Amino acid sequence: MRHTFRLHALAACLAFAFSAHAAGKDTTIPEKAIAAATTLRDKAMNDNTGYDFVAGLTTEVGARLAGSEADKRGVDWTIAKFKAMGFDKVYTEKVSYPLWERHSEHAAIVAPFPQALYVTALGYSAGTPQGGLTAEVVGFDTLDALKAADPATVKGKIVYVSTHMAQQKDGHDYGMGSVTRTRGPVLAAKMGAAAYLLRSAGTDPHSRTPHTGVTGFTDPKDAIPAAALSLPDADQLERVLKEGKPVTLKLDLDVGFKGMYEGTNVIAEVTGRKHPDEVVAIGGHLDSWDLGTGAIDDGAGVAIAAAAAKLIKDMPQRPDRTIRVIAFANEEMGLWGGRAYADAHAKDVAKFQLGTESDFGAGRIWRMTASVKPEARGAIAQIAKVLEPIGVAYDPGKPGGGGSDLSQMHAKGMAALSLTQDGTDYFDYHHNANDTLDKIDPKALAQNVAVYATFAYLAAQADGNFGSAPGAFANDGAHD
């Protein structure tokens, strides 16, 4: 009995040692896969599948405000398109979220210099009383200045906060603009303001096209009317305020919450040949704001992912792992589709090989970053080497967040990339009426498709994994 016990103990130790060794084994990509991916990359660079997809979506459906009739048409269009593209599986998953509607919006300076202003309501804004709201404007140069203000100077007034964004390749000023748009209205409401205005979170100084976007209101009872001015109109209001005379403004917003809505994430798959339950996740969000046609934000992202998966599907041999395309619901008003997806799939996070989402327009991808286990860095370097000839540089010093919606799966432990597009002019068009198909360069979009197809295929063919596990990347900061 004692001898048998020793044998069992020895076997257990050997099994544990083997397991530990396997866990530390480097992930690599076979040379055969590298060669196939190079051919795939070159084919994708001259393929119009992605452009044809986004052209069809924006022409046949147009803008897709979450919960609207157009959103429903967009879902139906995408389901039909995924099926026509020949994916092995096409299905939906439910997403519930508050329904918010926009009907009309107007603003004007009443005194001292009466004139109309170009304005758009922000998501989750409350509506004004019937006939509009007229009040004195109090202006602040920054959100911090509003934070420091005496609430008595704000109460009952329309708060205006300025924010100045500059064009940048990586769009990093948007962090400041987004905070002013989301947190500013909430702060103003708590201070007793009657309404909130901000200088649009955008970079188009010569266009009277205000940029919308969501606020931070989560309860309709707490919301106040909130809107964004186009940059020239914001300049005008700031000049009037500098005159030193009391400024009165009328705001008329017919918008508001309309209960709850049940939408859907639309999903398509190319089933893996060897490991069908292991997934490379790519995607974009299907909803858009209603001012333009949702071309760069984010019809392009769904198109890039769908086209990349289609090109992989059409290869002579299926990938070893499943390629999953996710067209997320209602990203614009709070990552509702991404959060619902992560909640539903968190238990299977270890089966997610690698993932990322496209949601920064259609400019060429110029940088790749990654959040993976140390033993997979060599495989990321292999992917980078295949992408380098088409203009993508690998920065090993930065984490990869997975994109907007898939950041939620990354937060659960999914290994993730960030594939950064050239967003120099992205915020000229972001969330405004100029987000239309003509802003997309077909050749630049094809480069995006090539990048997504190449990385997804190589990740699917890798010998080993990239480190996905519950809580695996909790401290890398990429999903904050």
Do 295 and 369 fall into the same domain?
yes
Quick one: pLDDT at residue 18? 34
Quick one: pLDDT at residue 480? 47
How many C-beta neighbours within 10 Å does residue 160 have?
A: 24
Domain of residue 180: give its range: 103-256
Contact 389, 477 (CB under 8 A): no
C-alpha angle with apex 126: 285 to 234, nearest 5 degrees? 80
pLDDT digits (tens, 9 = 90+) for 82-117: 999 999 999 999 999 999 999 999 999 999 999 999
pTM for this prediction: 0.94
**Per-residue buried b or exposed e for 350-366, using 16+ beta carbons within 10 Å of the residue's own CB:** bbbbbbbbbbbbbbbbb
Do 141 and 60 fall into the same domain?
no
pLDDT at 6 over 50: no
Quick one: pLDDT at residue 20? 37
Q: What average pLDDT does the segment 289-297 reach?
A: 98
Q: Could you tell me if residue 475 is inside a domain?
A: no
Quick one: pLDDT at residue 24? 77
Task: Give the contacts of 473 (CB within 8 A, at least 6 positions apart).
Answer: 371, 399, 410, 411, 413, 414, 415, 416, 467, 479
Residue found under tokens 């989301």: 182
**Domain boundary at 222, 256, 290, which?**
256
Q: Could you tell me if residue 23 is inside a domain?
A: no
Q: What average pLDDT does the segment 302-312 reach?
A: 98
For residue 26, the one-letter residue type is D
Q: What is the DSSP-derived secondary structure letter of residue 446? A: H
Residue 217 has φ and ψ, to the nearest 5°, of -70, 135
**Domain boundary at 228, 256, 284, which?**
256
CA 98, distance to chain mean position in Å, is: 19
% of the chain residues with pLDDT over 70: 95
Do 324 and 375 fall into the same domain?
yes
Provide the number of structural domains found in the chain.
2
CATH code at position 70: 3.40.630.10
Range in 19-28, 37-46, 280-289 the model is least confident about: 19-28
pLDDT at 290 over 50: yes
Do 218 and 284 fall into the same domain?
no
pLDDT at 12 over 90: no
CATH code at position 113: 3.50.30.30
Q: How far apart are CA 62 and CA 70, in angstroms?
A: 7
pLDDT at 1 over 50: no
**Per-residue buried b or exposed e for 406-425, using 16+ beta carbons within 10 Å of the residue's own CB:** bbbbbbbbbbbbbbbbbbeb
Over the chain, what is the mean pLDDT?
A: 94
For residue 325, the one-letter residue type is V
Quick one: pLDDT at residue 23? 53
pLDDT digits (tens, 9 = 90+) for 190-200: 999 999 999 99
Quick one: pLDDT at residue 476? 84
Do 41 and 117 fall into the same domain?
no
Do 380 and 324 fall into the same domain?
yes
SS3 labels along 217-255: CCCHHHCCCEEEECHHHHHHHHHHHHCCCCCEEEEEEEE
Do 350 and 324 fall into the same domain?
yes
For residue 25, the one-letter residue type is K
**Domain boundary at 226, 256, 286, which?**
256
Do 364 and 452 fall into the same domain?
yes
pLDDT at 31 over 50: yes
Concatenated DSSP letters for 177-206? HHHHHHHHHHHHHHTT-SEEEEE-SS--TT
Do 308 and 436 fall into the same domain?
yes
Task: Give the contacts of 32 (CB within 8 A, at least 6 positions apart).
Answer: none
Q: How many CA atoms lie within 13 A of 436 on its CB side?
A: 7
Q: Could you tell me if residue 401 is inside a domain?
A: yes
- pLDDT interval class at 421 (50, 70, 90): very high
Q: Could you tell me if residue 262 is inside a domain?
A: no
Residue found under tokens 């995408």: 78
pLDDT at 267 over 90: yes
Do 84 and 107 fall into the same domain?
no
Q: Could you tell me if residue 94 is inside a domain?
A: no
Q: Could you tell me if residue 473 is inside a domain?
A: no
Q: Could you tell me if residue 2 is inside a domain?
A: no
pLDDT digits (tens, 9 = 90+) for 455-479: 999 999 999 999 999 999 988 877 5
User: 256: helix, coil or strand?
Assistant: strand
Quick one: pLDDT at residue 181? 98
Contact 265, 324 (CB under 8 A): no
Q: Could you tell me if residue 192 is inside a domain?
A: yes
Do 239 and 318 fall into the same domain?
no
Quick one: pLDDT at residue 41? 98
Do 244 and 283 fall into the same domain?
no
pLDDT at 379 over 70: yes
Range in 109-113, 172-176, 225-229, 434-438 the model is least confident about: 172-176
Q: Beta 393-394 vs 89-111: how paired, if at all?
A: unpaired
Selected residue with higher pLDDT from 480 and 453: 453
